[in-house]
Structure 1
Amino acid sequence: FDETLFGAAWQQLVDRHSILRSAFVWEGVSEPVQVVQRKAVLPFEVRDLRGLADQRERLDAFLAEDWDRGFDLSRAPLVRVTVLRMSEERRIVVWSFHHILLDGWSVQILQKELLALYRALLDGTPAGLPPTVPYRRYIEWLNSRQDDGSAAFWTDYLAGVTEPTALNVDRDTGDTGVGEFEVCASPELFARARDYAKSQRVTMNTLVQGLWSILLSRYSRRDEVLFGSTISGRSIDLPGVESMMGLFINTLPVRGRLTGDLIVSEWLRDLQDEQLEMRQWEYCHLVDVQKHSRIPRGEPLFRSILVFENYPVVHKPSDFPEGLSRRLVNCVERTGYPLTLVVSAGRALEFRFVYDRSMFDAETIARMAGHLESLLAAVVE
């Protein structure tokens, strides 16, 4: 593993993509602005932990220190990379970045390009990457979407909403920090869930949204619930949007109406049709969307969000240089919401609860995860 060339590959990425050279200025200006630097030097560091008896403690201390550093949004780049030498043939790469730069889709693109650049530097050949499509194209498209009828849609969609959906299990725990709890459905249940979704002509995302709606309805004791759903933001009519690096995801309200006599499969299809209609407005700013509800200013539109991870994995084993293997050790990300449910349905169906420990205890979240899994089994059976 050539650390020098690996660092050079990272710098080439920063040079190549304007979003990685971006800073954000909001103080002393009438409107916050994104500022792209012509040149930004990536903070790249190598630390040697080989042969140390307290290696694990040093690693943990570094990770805590790196997290606490955070980022100054007004100084580019909002990215840094540290390589930790753990043994002669093992390295841990710690890559930290602010979410304002990249979404999960972009992360896949970045990793593919990083491997291509690193291999090219090892071989002394051109990487042969296609020209980039700058993120500013998306910003220009976004700024052109004014007075387009979205206000009428959101006013109708949020009619009658006067308060965020209460969870009724949150309380002052006296604790601090962020907790995580993960549960993985059995392979058999996952297979049955996929078969059920396919037979009813709904996506796995719709199925999960339906389950979360039912669960919130039971917890809040309301027939109508509201939660946030994170969407990719890339189904817009903009050439090259699939290959752009930047932040496209958006979190918008999903309204679950559990009234009437519909059987679950019909109700799920109605929910999916509603989401498809909403897709034409998926670029709308959440702060603008909330203005069309009757929830008082300063109150959140929702207290929980659902993130269904379904972006394409664009790199493959053959992209790796010979003799180099890689695995994800850990990924830590945070949102500003009390409760976030992250669902992935790739090789397995995984539910990850990320929660504010000052409002929820571990037992409550574990019970909620159990209820969600029971609901899934009940629906697909």
Structure 2
Amino acid sequence: MTAFDLTAQPSGGAIEDIYPLTGLQQGMLFHSRLAPGMGVYWIWMGLPLHGDLDPGVLRQAWELVFARHEVLRTGVVWEQVPVPMAVVSRSVPLPWQVIDLSGLDEDAQRRAIDDYLAADETTGADFAAPTLVRVALVRLGEDRHQLLWSYHHLLLDGWSSPAVIGEVLQAYQELVAGRQPILPDRRPFRDFVAWLLGQDQEEAKRYWREQLAGFTAPNALGVGHTTGETGRGTAWARLDKDAFARVAEFARRHRLTVNTVVQGAWAVLTARYAGTDDVVFGVTSSGRSGQLDGIESVIGLLMNTTPARIKVDPGQTVPQWLAAVQAEQVRGRRFEHTPLTDIQACSQVPAGQPLFETLFIFENYPAPGWNGGQGSPGTGGLRAGAVFHGRPQGNYPLTVAAGIGPVQELSIRLDYERDRFDPAAMERMAEHLATVLEAIATSTDQKVAELPVLTAAERVQVVADWNDTVAPLPGVGGAHDLVAERVRQHPDAVAVVCGSRLVTYGGLWERAGRFAGLLRAAGAGPESVVGLCLPRGIDLVAAVLG
């Protein structure tokens, strides 16, 4: 049997195309199949729709977009083939469902939607099906609907999903107005796969061997431990509009990207936590750096995860160091599509150990392709609200995802495994990350080593509160008076221990007296300076008192 025969069986329909999954797609498939029912890499998006909506026309718009993009009509075959294959069906019925919740109050509607999404996530992807997508339209009232769209991450990246929704809404507007939709030309995803297969992997491997030389074990953050909990937790670091404006101005002034600044802050924090100046963590790149004509228009999963190795040079100024970090990012862009498994093989980290356990993502996606909530002529005043979405459960113990919000604030989400990290530690880490970022934004000639990690409250605690050890002393002339008082009160109490020997206060006082007598006989008197050369022990203490 040929690969075509094998792949044609599960989908049960006419096959349009077959090509291998990319390295990242293969990794997502592996981890999803490793944890069925956990929603690994399953994503859902919700879009509120207000106004007069024609469900039949909206379905027609979705069907048109399904027909345009092969990734939406893609299933997967992984058995009896050398590498997992993407199978594109020529025609796929739209997985469409209409749910009417208009008879429920708002609280009941929210619970019903939550229940639907939880069940949808548990169901996850049927990789043998001809599509890894599901669409549901929820009717909440006469002029209120929610569009719920879920899919497996191996189909689409964060650049593609807003484009798909934008095309659906654009097609709907045109169809409602009685016009044939004219949607933008896009290069097919299979062109990207073909380009990827033609890359010089040997040159990429030489680059990654150079980058990872001498790195032998993943960085340990020093705050992980077995907690007995399950699932994933979230902590947030947030910079408000004014604080983020300072970060953005620092980046502009020094010709840096905001991504570089935030990534640099995470590198500093990782170095402090791990106790090393040599850090490696995963980074996600968009994969749309222009190496292929028209790559920015492709709908599909073009992103990739690769390691970032950053030497945190404590002696450099912050701007100098970040400029070097950014220069290396640019140099490595040619090799950003190298499969992570190939990169791991280029490293000196032993087989079976991960190259890194934290993933850094800077979410800088293009603006959605719809009308931002304003009604459009010919649509009956239909308005699309702000998208809300669930986050895919990845396979890294800690994922740090930064994004710029609608009012130009910076939000950084720390998504962590609860069996490895406790919430208090993650909340502190989030606060420390914000502290480093704000310090970078105000630095000029500041050295990297001088960047603070502790918050203002923690600095007060360490410097002032924990050092507030002032205690009243007895009104005595010196240490010998204190010892004399102990001799009077507790002569038989142990005063000094040295190995297996010990002496009581009474015995120590007697030794000191004999030593003082020897000094007087030798001509020493009050205020005389006498040098002592004795090993640490009981005799040294007696001599000091004498």
After TM superposition, the score normalised by the length of structure 2 is: 0.68
CA distance in 2, matches of 1:174, 1:195: 44
Kindly indicate whether residue 345 of structure 2 is the aligned counterpart of residue 345 of structure 1.
no
Matched letter for residue 23 of structure 1: G
* 1:323 and 2:401 matched: no
Deviates more, 1:290-299 or 1:265-274: 290-299
- Map residues 85-100 of structure 1 onto 2, 5 A cutoff: 85-100=139-154
Q: Which amino acid aligns with 1:104?
A: G
Which residue in the other structure is 1:220 paired with?
274
Cα 1:102–1:153 shift into 2, 3 Å: same
Partner of 2:199: 145
Of stretches 234-243 and 152-161 in structure 1, the one that deviates more from structure 2 is: 234-243
Shift of 1:254: 0.7
Deviation at residue 316 of structure 1 after TM alignment:
4.3
1:196 is displaced (CA, Å) by: 0.6
1:184 Cα deviation after fit: 2.3
Task: Provide the residue aligned with 2:64 in structure 1.
Answer: 12
Query: Which whole-Å CA distance do the structure 1 matches of 2:380 and 2:410 have between them?
Result: 32
Aligned partner of 1:2 among 54, 57, 74: 54
CA distance in 1, matches of 2:209, 2:380: 56
The answer on 1:190 being equivalent to 2:244 is yes
The answer as to whether partners of 2:169 and 2:370 remain within 8 angstroms in 1 is no
Q: Does 1:52 align with 2:104?
A: yes
* In 1: Cα distance, 2:171 partner to 2:433 partner: 43
Distance 1:221 1:302 in 2: 16
Distance in 1 between residues matched to 2:240 and 2:198, nearest whole Å: 47
Please tell me whether residue 305 in structure 1 is matched to residue 364 in structure 2: no
**Residue 424 of structure 2: which of 353, 363, 375 is its match?**
363
- The answer to whether structure 1 residue 278 and structure 2 residue 332 are counterparts is yes
Tell me what 1:34 maps to: 86
Higher relative contact order (CA 8 A, sep 6+): 1
> 3-state SS of the aligned residue for 2:140?
strand
**Residue range with higher mean Cα deviation, 37-46 or 125-134:** 125-134
Query: Is the Cα–Cα contact under 8 Å of residues 112 and 319 in structure 1 kept in the other structure?
Result: no
1:146 to partner: Cα distance: 3.1
Q: Name the residue aligned to 1:22.
A: 74
Residue from 244, 257, 269 that aligns with 1:203: 257
Cα distance, 1:140 vs. partner? 0.8
Gaps of 5+ in 1: none
User: Compared with structure 1, are the counterparts of its residues 139 and 268 closer, same or farther at alpha carbon in structure 2 (3 Å cutoff)?
Assistant: same
* Aligned partner (choices 415, 419, 433) of residue 354 of structure 1: 415
Q: Deviations over 1:301-345 (max 9, x none)?
A: 111111101121152426854522222233322221111111112
Letter in 2 for 1:42: L
CA distance in 1: counterparts of 2:339 and 2:327, whole angstroms: 22
128-137 or 223-232, which moves further after superposition?
A: 128-137
Moved more, 347-356 or 176-185: 176-185
* Distance (whole Å) between structure 2 residues aligned to residue 55 and residue 131 of structure 1: 39
- Give the whole-Å Cα distance in 1 for the aligned partners of 2:176 and 2:269: 52
Which runs of 5 or more structure 2 residues have no equivalent in the other structure?
Answer: 1-52, 443-546
Highest Rg: 1 or 2? 2
Q: CA shift at 1:84, angstroms?
A: 1.5
Contact in 1 for aligned 2:78/2:85 (Cα 8 Å): yes
Q: What number of residue pairs does the alignment pair up?
A: 381
Q: What do you get for the CA RMSD once the two structures are aligned?
A: 1.6
Aligned to 1:133: 187
Aligned residue number for residue 441 of structure 2: 380
Q: Is the 8 A contact 2:186 2:294 kept in 1?
A: no
Q: State whether structure 2 residue 234 is matched by structure 1 residue 180.
A: yes
User: SS in structure 1 opposite 2:308?
Assistant: strand
Q: Give how far 1:57 is off.
A: 2.3
Most deviating of 291-300 and 127-136: 127-136
Of 295, 301, 305, the residue aligned with 2:349 is: 295
Cα deviation, residue 79, structure 1: 0.6
Distance 1:131 1:265, change over 3 A: closer
Secondary structure of the corresponding residue to residue 307 of structure 1:
strand
1:269 to 2:344 alignment: no
The ranges of structure 1 where at least 4 consecutive aligned residues each deviate by more than 3 angstroms after the TM superposition are 318-322
Contact 2:237 2:433 in 1 (8 A): no
Partner of 1:336: 395
Post-superposition Cα deviations, 1:229-284, rounded to whole Å, max 9, x if no partner, equal 10000114212111110100011111121235211110000000000000011111
1:112 aligns with 2:173: no
Q: Distance in 2 between matches of 1:352 and 1:260?
A: 27
Q: Is the 8 A contact 1:16 1:132 kept in 2?
A: no
CA distance in 2, matches of 1:97, 1:297: 32
Q: How far is 1:112 from its partner?
A: 1.8
Partner amino acid, structure 1, of 2:427: A
Indicate whether 1:76 and 2:130 are aligned. Answer: yes
Which amino acid in structure 1 is aligned with residue 326 of structure 2?
Answer: Q
1:270 is paired with a residue whose SS is helix
Superposed counterparts of 1:155-170, under 5 Å: 155-170=209-224
Of 293-302 and 94-103, the range deviating more from structure 2? 293-302
- Encode CA deviations 1:174-201: one digit per residue, 9 max, x unaligned: 1111222333212111011011111111
